Amino acid sequence: MYIKSMHIENYRNLRDVTLHFHESMNYLVGENAIGKSSFLRLLSLICKGQVIPEQDYADVTRPIVVTLELVLLRPGDQGFAFDRQEDRRTVTLRLEKNVEEFLPRLYNLDSGELVPPEIIRCVRYLENASFHDPGETPVWVYRAVEEKLETVLHVRAENLTPCIREFITREVQVGNRDTSYYVNIFLLSRYLRRQDCPVADNMKFISLVALRLLTQIYEMMQSHAAPLERSLIINENGERLLPLWVSIDEPEIHLHPYMQRSILQYYQELLENRDPKFCKVLHELFHIDGLRGQLFVVTHATDSLAGDYRHIIRFYRNDAQQVQAACGSAFSFDEEIEKHLLMHFPEVKESLYSRSVLIVEGETEYGCFRYFGKTLQVPFDYYGICLINARGESSIGKIKTLLEAFHIPVAALYDGDVKRLRCHEKQVYFTDEICFEMDLVTRLLQVGKRRELDRIINAAAGGHGRATADMLKRACRKLAINYHDYPPKLLQHVNSRNYQALCVYYFAWLYSNKGVILGRLIGQSLQAEEIPPAFCRVIRAAGTFASVRGKQEKEMNL
């Protein structure tokens, strides 16, 4: 069972939002205070059947309305454990609640029937299932799980090493945890993974994840209000699976980047039954054969994000400043673009948190544009501008398509030699000359800064810059001129009165020595009046996109 889509009306700042979900993993991203955690809170209130407080209504004169499209069974599933005759694959539910009502009204939109609100409690939701227990789990649950684990794993707490027993004793003395909490962690550590050491952080956190799931499932087993049997699904192999919706809010608070990814990947393993040892524990403890989980992660860290745009839900504000959601699972691209986007997505994850994006074609531009922005009084970090190196002209349009699908304003800089082919595209800019390097050369020569150009090249070359035969052949081929007219020589020996020769020789060196280090040197060296106008235009455009959005958001918060 998983949520396929949800439409939310009148809840906090989610006044009219439609979300589409991936069946296994969903990352909720966007700027601060835009509604990501509000979504998790609403999901919790719905699944637990709790009262929605008055302050959560965006407009108290209107009801909160939530429409859920649920996929109940997958192809091949036999049905629910409590009712094998229930063979509906999907259902659409509509929850409505006015502020004066105590309980919401729940409708089955497929049949038009009013159904008991209690039915929603059969959906199992683990709220903020982070690696640590915030103290809500009763001690008796840990002790009961310890007793069961000792039986299933054929090991007792007394068999733990003296080092571990000493560690547990010390932790109990200085903390507020029961002994059973730590015993469970080490029992699971020994069984599930490879190490039995209290300082192995990866093993400790993985064991905490497993323990968190086991204790919460145990509490579900004890519930008489919503018996667990009503939630179990029988798959095509006759296995009893427990559907779960699991949320994790800001895993980056306590975990470094590698641990964030490790924990989230382990959650996916458990929720998709890819850890046979954990499945065995589930079977022995609860007589269920596995889980069928859908994970929701709210994060502000790019390190946590998967490298697949289809798992991303980005919250943003539209032109009317209403919160909306762009959902990667709902995007549709042709096969060639799809392959390209999946390959490049890890490089553009940071843009999901930005106010605007500036895409450049190569490494040299990438190395210098951040410095140019600072020089032009458009600091990228302050404005929330993400700079992306497309690594080639052909990638710019594809990356731009993806970012615009996520409703991120984009300014892209192409080399001037493709202007005829790309001029129909929106929010694209072009170098005034044939490419970035020629723009740079002509600008510095026009403002009388040949000496500055020499200084940059000599610093990068570690000596006097020289245009070699290979450099000149490559440059002349790009410029469509005869390279025999330009013999190899030191740049300082080029006749200063021959403007065309100056352009060709300096261009030849820069064109053959592209790189982010050279770009950084260029960016650190140029004053505002020395930066080519085409670069200024695209940087200021990205700044305008970002500042307009920032101004609108500021006005909304006043």
**200 pLDDT band (50/70/90 cuts)?**
low
pLDDT at 552: 53
Does residue 81 belong to any structural domain of this protein?
Answer: yes
Whole-structure pTM value: 0.89
Q: Are residues 386 and 412 in the same domain?
A: yes
What one-letter code names the amino acid at 434?
A: I
The pLDDT tens digits for 364-396 are 999 999 999 999 999 999 999 999 999 999 999
Res. 556: pLDDT tops 60: no
Paired strand residues for 249: 298
**443: how many CB neighbours lie within 10 A of its CB?**
21
Do 504 and 388 share a structural domain?
A: no
Highest mean pLDDT among 191-200, 303-312, 422-431, 435-444: 435-444
CA 358 to chain centre: 19
State the average pLDDT over residues 143-153.
92
Q: Decide which of 100, 120, 140 is a domain's last residue.
A: 120
> Is the predicted pLDDT of residue 319 greater than 60, yes or no?
yes
pLDDT for 85: 58
Q: Does 89 share its domain with 50? A: yes
User: Do the domain assignments include residue 17?
Assistant: yes
Which residues does residue 71 pair with via DSSP β-bridges, in sequence order?
Answer: 2, 90
**For position 199, what pLDDT does the model report?**
47
**Bridge partners of residue 315, in order along the sequence:** 325
Exposure string (b/e) for 503-530, b if CB count within 10 Å is 16 or more?
bbbbbbbbbbbeeeebbbbbbebbeeeb
Same domain membership, residue 540 and residue 414: yes
Q: What is the 3-state secondary structure (H, E, C) of 211-243?
A: HHHHHHHHHHHCCCCCCHHHCCEECCCCCEEEE
Residue 212 lies in a domain: no
CA atoms within 13 A on the CB side of 340: 17
Strands 240-249 and 233-234: antiparallel
Q: Compute the average pLDDT of residues 269-279.
A: 93
Percent of the chain with pLDDT over 90: 63
Please indicate, yes or no, if residue 321 is contained in any of the structural domains: no
Alpha-carbon gap, residue 181 to 159, rounded angstroms? 16
At residue 92, what are phi and psi to the nearest 5 degrees? Answer: -115, 120
Instruction: Determine the pLDDT at residue 550.
Output: 56
* DSSP string computed for 398-446: HHHHHHHHTT--EEEEE-GGGHHHHTTSTTEEE-SSSSHHHHHHHHHHH
Q: Are residues 355 and 494 in the same domain?
A: no
In this model, does residue 558 exceed pLDDT 60?
no
Q: Are residues 500 and 519 in the same domain?
A: yes
**pLDDT surpasses 50 at 162:** yes
Give the per-residue pLDDT at 87.
63
Look at residue 548 and tell me whether its pLDDT is greater than 50. yes
Domain boundary among 120, 136, 170: 120
Is residue 41 pLDDT above 50, yes or no? yes
At residue 223's C-alpha, the angle toward residues 217 and 225, to 5°, is 135
Tens digits of per-residue pLDDT, 83-117? 665 567 888 999 999 999 988 899 999 888 998 87
Q: What angle do CA 312, 121, 215 make, to 5 degrees?
A: 80
Amino acid 86: pLDDT: 59
Give me the mean pLDDT over the 133-160 stretch.
85
CATH code (residue 372): 3.40.50
Give a yes or no: residue 289 inside a domain. Answer: no
Cα(149)–Cα(181) distance, integer angstroms: 12
What is the β-pairing status of strands 410-414 and 428-430?
parallel
Between residues 67 and 87, which one has the greater pLDDT? 67
Q: Tell me what pLDDT residue 285 has.
A: 93
Based on the domain organization, do 8 and 89 belong to the same domain? yes
- pLDDT score for 196: 46
Number of domains in the chain: 3
**Residue 500's pLDDT band (cuts 50, 70, 90):** very high
| One domain, residues 408 and 512 | no
548 in the same domain as 419: yes
| Alpha-carbon distances of 325 from 5, 20, 312, 383, 496, rounded to whole Å | 12, 9, 10, 22, 57
Tens-place pLDDT, residues 116-137: 876 777 778 988 655 555 567 8
Burial class from Cβ neighbours inside 10 Å (0-12, 13-18, 19+) for residue 54 reads exposed
Residue 16's domain comprises: 2-24+34-120
pLDDT at 201: 61
pLDDT value of residue 132: 58
| pLDDT in the model for residue 4 | 96
Give the end of a domain, one of 59, 86, 120: 120
Residue pLDDT, tens place only, 512-538:
999 999 999 999 999 999 999 999 999
Asked if residue 155 belongs to a domain, the reply is no
For the cut 70, the answer to whether the pLDDT of residue 151 exceeds it is: yes
Q: Per the domain annotation, does 285 fall within a domain? A: no
Contacts 24+ apart (CB under 8 A), 378-383: 378/539, 378/540, 378/542, 378/543, 383/355, 383/356, 383/542, 383/543, 383/546, 383/547, 383/550
**Cα separation, 189 vs 268, whole angstroms:** 18
Segment 243-256 mean pLDDT: 86
Across the chain, what does the average pLDDT equal?
Answer: 89
The pLDDT, as a whole number, for residue 415 is 96
Same domain, 11 and 108: yes
Same domain, 416 and 391: yes
CATH number assigned to the domain comprising residue 16: 3.40.50.300
**Statement to judge: residues 353 and 489 lie in one domain:** no
| pLDDT band for position 208 (cuts 50, 70, 90) | confident
Residue 129 included in any domain: no
Question: Given this model, what pLDDT does residue 49 score?
Answer: 77
Label residue 198 by pLDDT band (50, 70, 90): very low
